[in-house]
Amino acid sequence: MKKVFILLFFISLNSFSQDEPSYTTLNTKELHNKVRLNYILVHMPDEQNIYGDSYQLRPTMGLIGLNYNIPINDWLYTGAGFHSAITGDQGGLFTLGVNLGVNKKLYKNIYFDANVHFGGGGGYRVLVDGGGILYTNIGLQYKKNNFSFGVQYGNVNFFTGFIKNDNVSFFVEIPSTIRAASYAEAQEQFIIDNTSKDEFWKKPAVKSVQQVTFDYFFPFGDSRTDSFQGNKPINNTLSILGFEYQRYLTDNTFIYTHVDAMYSGLIAGFMDLFFGVGNNFVETKYVNLFGKFGIGAAGGRIYQEGGLTMYPSVGADIKITEKFGLSAHGGYHRAIGGTFEAYTAGFSLKYYGLSGGTKDPFSDEEIKKIKTQGLQLAVENQTYFDVAKFGIPDSDLQLIALKAKYDLNNRFYVAGEASFAYLGKSGGYAHGIFGLGIKSNKFLNEKVSLFAEAAAGVAGGGRVDSGEGVLVRPTLGINYHANDALSFYVSGGQMWSPFGNVNSSNINIGLSYGFSILNAKK
């Protein structure tokens, strides 16, 4: 009897394991995208003393751009990008927008490239007014082994303001491949039960880290406020909320992108954006010591300067589970060629990712299962009605937003977005928010679903009266599913600032594209 019981037990385990389909049944795809870093030299307007007798504009502004482009076919691409000032006196000028471009081979490794970038942003509102930007360019590109560089002639046009200028720009482009599955296969688990001969599965997984950071800046030295606040010394602590993405090149070396926004300490409006490299110089199973160095742009509500900033830091991680951890860190935030400097301290909530393959990229450890996690990327137009401002009349605002929704299961998801104003006389206003969402099952022939979100974050700039920057925004919406991946949606809600005077209704219209991340489980 005992032997029969043991036999039945193992048979039941085997039957249970067969409930999980083989990973070879996944409908996989490779997205061969491009990261483009560009530099644009912009001549500033000739209007005499826009700021008055006390300040004269510097003649040029240097912009750096970070663009992520996705091919639609072999000659047409789309994408999104940030731009930020690093030279001149417009530190704190940031923009966010979407791209549409053409890339065609001319001869051997020489390609024709042209694109249009539309978005919103700004720094000092008087120069950009509503904040709308249209950047058109045309040029040549040299490609070799998926890497490339190019030169373009273009026009930067803040069409609601004063900055309008023809220019020459330079760029480099590096490949970024995402291995994914269809969104229809999200929230499922697949067993790795054999060795696939498919070329897709022969590549190792990608190791990455995403983290939300909570930092405190302690300014010192000659750090000062902007001219609107009287160029006064900054003696108080600045509270900062940020997000960082890290991708590992080796077992202990990574590159990263980091963005921050201030929510307390000054009038809202300070932001920064960094690219950098880091190294884990001590690593154990649960504790990790690291050092990082970032270079990028910062500004807004501090003294007018170029914007180029460095940010070295050190810290320690504690890994709580295989996927989640806590980090404490400290650093030195310094404007290069400017006056702002601060010591920093803070902590992070970290998520460790391993995705897109059946083997650890550095230890060669075999992956046992693949868990598909749904991700939707969206672009939105947001309309906010009768937004409260200080020093200028209240008005409606139009914002362009980039949004990501990460499914926790088939019902709940977390969402994050960055939004920048492009119309409404508040150029330079932006917000970044995170939240929790819930969605219904599809109905009406699987074409329609409903959703609700509750989100909070930080905002500032453009004389929008958000106090020190904290905002809350609940929304309700409806999706129309064109297919499993592509959806159109409309939503509406209310945004208010607990420590300011903003209390505005809003309507959003968006387009989203979904796919499944192939999370590895050892």
pLDDT truncated to tens, each residue of the chain (522 aa)?
444 444 444 444 444 444 789 999 999 999 999 999 999 999 988 755 555 555 678 889 999 999 999 999 999 999 999 999 999 989 999 999 999 999 999 999 999 999 999 999 998 778 899 999 999 999 999 999 889 999 999 999 999 998 999 999 999 999 999 999 999 999 999 999 887 888 899 889 999 999 999 999 999 999 999 887 888 999 999 999 999 999 999 999 999 999 999 999 988 889 999 999 999 999 998 999 999 999 999 999 899 899 999 999 999 999 999 899 999 999 999 999 999 999 999 999 999 999 999 999 999 899 999 999 999 999 999 999 999 999 899 999 999 999 999 999 999 999 999 999 999 999 999 999 999 999 999 999 999 999 999 999 999 999 999 988 899 999 999 999 999 999 999 999 999 999 999 999 999 999 999 999 999 988
* DSSP calls for 37-55: EEEEEEEPP--TTTT-TT-
Quote the CA–CA distance of 124 and 44 in Å, as a whole number: 13
- For 15, the 3-state DSSP assignment is helix
- At 11 the pLDDT is 42
**Alpha-carbon distance 102 to 263, whole Å?**
39
- Report pTM: 0.92
CA–chain centroid gap for 410, Å, is 24
At residue 400, the 3 state secondary structure works out as strand
Which residue's structure tokens are 């030195």?
332
What is the pLDDT at residue 247? 96
One DSSP character per residue, 279-302 reads EEEEE-SSEEEEEEEEEEEEESSB
Show the domains of the chain with their CATH numbers: 30-178 (2.40.160.20), 206-355 (2.40.160.20), 371-521 (2.40.160.20)
| Residues across the chain | 522
Residue with tokens 């180029």, as numbered in its chain:
308
Predicted confidence at residue 385, as pLDDT, reads 98
